């Protein structure tokens, strides 16, 4: 019993250490945009190039980009921002597969715990841009929607890039979740569906210029 308590105490300290270290290293970042998407979509995929363009467009406007730091869409977004003077940030995590840190990070942090990493994805975000991806991407999308829906964070743009990819999910939300009373019609207005990095960047820039944001304390 004592050994179990000691192990749990060390776990709490590791979590606290990750949180304090991550918060400290991103303290001067200011507002940023968090980009999510599949690790398996490499540089031969059109969404990789859209993510790269988005990173570049935001970087040129002095808006840092935060990703999960891995390959695929994350690499594309980091790569685009890395080519500008604006910080490109990767919040890497230890996983048994797929998560190899990409080389396009000015600030690279390593995490053991998903929930600490998720907190930092949100803390500086004035927008989430979400490209096609798998379970991890869906998790990040629905967590963002839940946080905004429940007003645990100030409203910010949640932008889905790739109409052909996301349309089926939107239709399912309408035909199942909305029709069966699991959502309100207003909930379907919490996100926007676009087809290009340019469209996503314009939504983010309009949001920032209107001052419709507050960084999580």
The answer to whether residues 184 and 173 touch, using CB atoms and an 8 Å cutoff, is no
Residue 216 lies inside a defined structural domain of this protein: no
Residue 196 lies inside a defined structural domain of this protein: yes
Q: Which two tokens stand for residue 130?
A: 């979400």
Nearest CA among 201, 179, 186 for reference residue 126: 201
pLDDT one digit per residue (tens) for the chain, 217 residues: 656 666 777 888 888 888 888 888 888 888 999 999 999 999 999 999 999 999 999 999 999 999 999 999 999 999 999 999 999 999 998 877 656 899 999 999 999 888 899 999 998 899 999 999 999 999 999 999 999 999 999 999 999 999 999 999 999 999 999 999 999 999 999 999 999 999 999 999 999 988 755 444 4
Residue 214 lies inside a defined structural domain of this protein: no
Residue 83 lies inside a defined structural domain of this protein: yes
Number of structural domains the chain divides into: 1
Residue 160 lies inside a defined structural domain of this protein: yes
Residue 156 lies inside a defined structural domain of this protein: yes
Q: Using CA atoms in the order 55, 60, 66, 70, what is the torsion angle rounded to 10 degrees? A: 40
pTM attached to this predicted model: 0.91
Residue 215 lies inside a defined structural domain of this protein: no
Range of the domain at 168: 2-209
CATH of the domain at 199: 3.40.50.450
Residue 62 lies inside a defined structural domain of this protein: yes
């Amino acid at each position: 019993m004592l050994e179990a308590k000691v192990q749990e105490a060390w776990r709490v300290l590791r979590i606290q250490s990750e949180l304090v270290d991550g918060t400290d290293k991103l303290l001067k970042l200011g507002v940023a945009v968090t980009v999510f998407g599949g690790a398996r979509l490499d540089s031969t995929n059109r969404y990789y190039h859209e993510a790269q363009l988005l990173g570049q467009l935001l970087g040129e406007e002095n808006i840092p980009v935060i990703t999960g730091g891995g390959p695929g869409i994350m690499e594309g977004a980091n790569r685009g921002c890395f080519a500008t003077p604006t910080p490109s940030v990767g919040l890497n995590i230890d996983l048994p597969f797929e998560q190899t840190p990409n080389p396009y990070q000015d600030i690279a942090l390593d995490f053991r715990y998903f929930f600490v990493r998720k907190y930092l994805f949100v803390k500086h975000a004035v927008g989430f841009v979400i490209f096609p991806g798998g379970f991890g991407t869906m998790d990040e999308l629905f967590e963002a929607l839940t946080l905004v829906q429940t007003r645990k964070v100030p409203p910010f743009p949640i932008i889905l890039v790739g109409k052909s990819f996301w349309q089926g999910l939107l239709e399912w939300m309408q035909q199942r979740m909305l029709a069966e009373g699991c959502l309100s019609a207003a909930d379907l207005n919490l996100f926007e569906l676009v087809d290009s990095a340019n469209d996503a960047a314009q939504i983010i820039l309009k949001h920032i210029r209107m001052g419709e944001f507050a960084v999580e304390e």
